[in-house]
């Protein structure tokens, strides 16, 4: 066989090899190929230029639940094969050589070819189901099924992560400040207005944000939280608003979906909003006002439906004065502000919070459930708690690891509390001992007083502290309690225990 395509040599080769003309050979090959595919396949269907079924074999009809193939003739192909792509083949004139088509719980391997008349016009299409004939594809299909199962499991895990873990019941506390937080959270859940949560670190801002989401009409949609301070400035814009392919060096060819898009229909929680760069603040303001974002590298804005809850532990008004935060963004976020009280402001509510934290530690770590002695509760109430609940959890978990006592005592907490461990607690003058005594010449060195026990020294310190607080407060217990950062009830208990009195 000689010649190259296009010069007639190939046709002469066919004549020499088979003794028949090429057109005659093609005429024989086409029906033979069709019959072979029809015989070996699990199903065959042909449609006209309007994608209406003109022929279907009995095997395919039975697979589709059609008793008589004639019942399918004249019907649109999608009526009997919902996921058919035959109409696409007719529209493009291009075959789909191998494709996977879902049929119930199965995936079928199919091939589709256009039917062309003598003038080159597409007059229909024919499709073959090849699943059981192509045994070599079964390992590939099995691998595809495995990858799809892994993808589905990963998607479920991501969706679970994006669902809130907390509700308003998780916010423990019945003080007036805590009740006001809960009241405002319920009010905030009724609308889609932006919310600004303010409070020290560890006061539960994300917990309240998740609670608002759970109570809102968006509860079935994603809750996406992001810590602004944890993302490098160079990546913030792409992280929030997304980026198109090739927007910057190293960008994935599929582009990047921003957090706004991920939270579509749900809630986006922006923690530490005060650390957001000024340039990005302008884009955030536009997103809030126009409900649209513009991915990095794109000139086409994308409409979004996202409710924004922001949180900060810094004074944003002060940052506005310093030129570090936009006033217009502050006013847009500050529609319904919610201030979360610190642990020092909880008063008598601290004991309930500590008990709740201990229960959580036990369930999470498998350690025995612990309680607190009254003295341990008083010791906790005297600590300033700069880290709030986060610090409280750290101290209680450390104490649980260091002791087997079913109820944590003052001694158990003394080793875990930073102030007790570092000796930061001042000692009253009455309890102080001289570090060094220089005797007079010829004098007999005095015998130092015996060291007081811990409880006596602590009582002396506390009695002195309470007396000074009352003296500075004109004898009024409520004012003195507020100065010391304890509840009035706890202050009166201390007075009674130490035999002290106040004016009221």
Which of 298, 322, 341 delimits the end of a domain? 341
| Cα separation, 47 vs 226, whole angstroms | 53
| Cα separation, 475 vs 483, whole angstroms | 12
- CATH code: domain of residue 407: 1.10.8.60
C-alpha torsion angle, residues 402, 404, 407, 409 (rounded to 10): -40
Q: What is the pLDDT of residue 171?
A: 86
- CATH code: domain of residue 491: 1.10.10
The answer to whether residue 438 is domain-embedded is no
Q: If you search the block for the tokens 């969706």, which residue do you land on? A: 159
More confident residue, 40 or 432: 40
pLDDT at 184 over 90: yes
pLDDT at 56 over 50: yes
Residues 198 and 178 grouped into a single domain: yes
Range scoring the smallest mean pLDDT among 136-140, 231-235, 408-412: 136-140
Residues 327 and 264 grouped into a single domain: yes
The answer to whether residue 334 is domain-embedded is yes
The answer to whether residue 26 is domain-embedded is no
Question: What is the residue-averaged pLDDT of the chain?
Answer: 79
Q: If you search the block for the tokens 């192909």, which residue do you land on? A: 77
Residues 244 and 312 grouped into a single domain: yes
Which of 341, 375, 406 delimits the end of a domain? 341
The answer to whether residue 157 is domain-embedded is no
| Cα separation, 377 vs 496, whole angstroms | 16
Q: Which of 224, 209, 196 is nearest to 313 (CA)?
A: 196
Which of 341, 365, 395 delimits the end of a domain? 341
Residues 400 and 269 grouped into a single domain: no
Residues 98 and 213 grouped into a single domain: no
Domain count for the chain = 4
Residues 404 and 473 grouped into a single domain: no
The answer to whether residue 120 is domain-embedded is yes
Range scoring the smallest mean pLDDT among 233-237, 417-421, 443-447, 476-480: 443-447
Residues 334 and 354 grouped into a single domain: no
Domain span holding position 204 = 168-341
Residues 287 and 207 grouped into a single domain: yes
Residues 326 and 349 grouped into a single domain: no
Residues 318 and 350 grouped into a single domain: no
Is residue 336 classed as helix, strand or coil in its secondary structure?
strand
Q: What is the pLDDT of residue 268?
A: 94
Percent of the chain with pLDDT over 90: 31
The answer to whether residue 208 is domain-embedded is yes
Enter the pTM of the model: 0.53
Q: What is the pLDDT of residue 385?
A: 86
pLDDT at 379 over 60: yes
| Cα separation, 29 vs 105, whole angstroms | 36
| Cα separation, 379 vs 354, whole angstroms | 12
Residues 311 and 356 grouped into a single domain: no
Residues 196 and 52 grouped into a single domain: no
More confident residue, 165 or 75: 75
Query: Can you tell me the mean pLDDT for 416-440?
Result: 44
The answer to whether residue 337 is domain-embedded is yes
Query: Can you tell me the mean pLDDT for 66-83?
Result: 90
pLDDT at 221 over 70: yes
Query: Can you tell me the mean pLDDT for 126-151?
Result: 68
Distances (CA, A) of 357 to 128, 202, 361, 397, 420: 64, 13, 6, 9, 21
pLDDT at 117 over 80: yes
The answer to whether residue 449 is domain-embedded is no
Q: What is the pLDDT of residue 37?
A: 67
Q: What is the pLDDT of residue 422?
A: 38
- CATH code: domain of residue 87: 3.30.450.20
């Amino acid at each position: 066989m000689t010649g190259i395509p296009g010069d007639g040599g190939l046709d002469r080769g066919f004549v020499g090899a088979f003794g028949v003309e090429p057109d005659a050979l093609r005429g024989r090959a086409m029906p033979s190929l069709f019959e072979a595919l029809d015989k070996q396949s699990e199903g065959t269907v042909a449609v006209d230029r309007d994608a209406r079924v003109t022929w279907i074999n009995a095997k395919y009809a039975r697979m589709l639940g059609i008793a008589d193939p004639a019942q399918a003739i004249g019907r649109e192909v999608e009526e009997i094969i919902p996921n058919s792509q035959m109409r696409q083949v007719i529209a493009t004139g291009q075959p789909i050589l191998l494709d996977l088509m879902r049929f119930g719980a199965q995936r079928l391997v199919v091939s589709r070819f256009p039917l062309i008349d003598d003038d080159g016009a597409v007059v229909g299409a024919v499709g073959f189901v090849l699943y059981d004939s192509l045994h070599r594809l079964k390992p590939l299909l099995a691998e595809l099924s495995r990858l799809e199962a892994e993808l589905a499991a990963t998607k479920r895990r991501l969706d679970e992560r994006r669902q809130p873990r907390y509700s308003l019941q998780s916010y423990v506390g019945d003080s007036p400040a805590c009740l006001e937080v809960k009241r405002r959270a319920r009010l905030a859940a009724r609308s889609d207005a932006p919310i600004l949560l303010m409070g020290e670190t560890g006061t539960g801002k994300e917990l309240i944000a998740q609670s608002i989401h759970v109570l809102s009409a968006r509860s079935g949609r994603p809750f996406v939280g992001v810590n602004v301070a944890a993302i490098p400035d160079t990546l913030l814009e792409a992280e929030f608003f997304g980026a198109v392919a090739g927007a910057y060096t190293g960008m994935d060819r599929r582009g990047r979906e921003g957090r706004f898009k991920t939270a579509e229909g749900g809630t986006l929680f922006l923690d530490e909003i005060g650390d957001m760069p000024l340039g990005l603040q302008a884009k955030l303001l536009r997103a809030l006002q126009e409900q649209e974002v513009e991915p990095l590298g794109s000139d086409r804005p994308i409409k979004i439906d996202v409710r924004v809850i922001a949180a900060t532990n810094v004074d944003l008004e002060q940052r506005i004065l310093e030129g570090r935060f936009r006033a217009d963004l502050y006013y847009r976020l500050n529609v319904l502000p919610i201030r979360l009280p610190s642990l020092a402001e909880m008063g008598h509510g601290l004991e309930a919070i500590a008990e709740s934290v201990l229960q959580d530690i036990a369930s999470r770590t498998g350690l025995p459930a612990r309680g607190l002695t009254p003295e341990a509760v008083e010791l906790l109430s005297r600590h300033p708690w700069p880290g709030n609940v986060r610090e409280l959890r750290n101290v209680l978990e450390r104490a649980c690891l260091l002791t087997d006592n079913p109820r944590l005592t003052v001694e158990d907490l003394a080793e875990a509390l930073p102030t007790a461990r570092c000796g930061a607690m001042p000692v009253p003058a009455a309890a102080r001992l001289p570090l060094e005594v220089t005797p007079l010449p010829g004098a007999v060195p005095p015998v130092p007083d015996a060291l007081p026990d811990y409880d006596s020294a602590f009582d002396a310190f506390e009695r002195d502290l309470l007396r000074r607080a009352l003296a500075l407060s004109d004898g009024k217990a409520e004012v003195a309690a507020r100065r010391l950062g304890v509840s009035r009830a706890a202050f009166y208990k201390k007075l009674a225990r130490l035999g002290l009195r106040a004016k009221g």
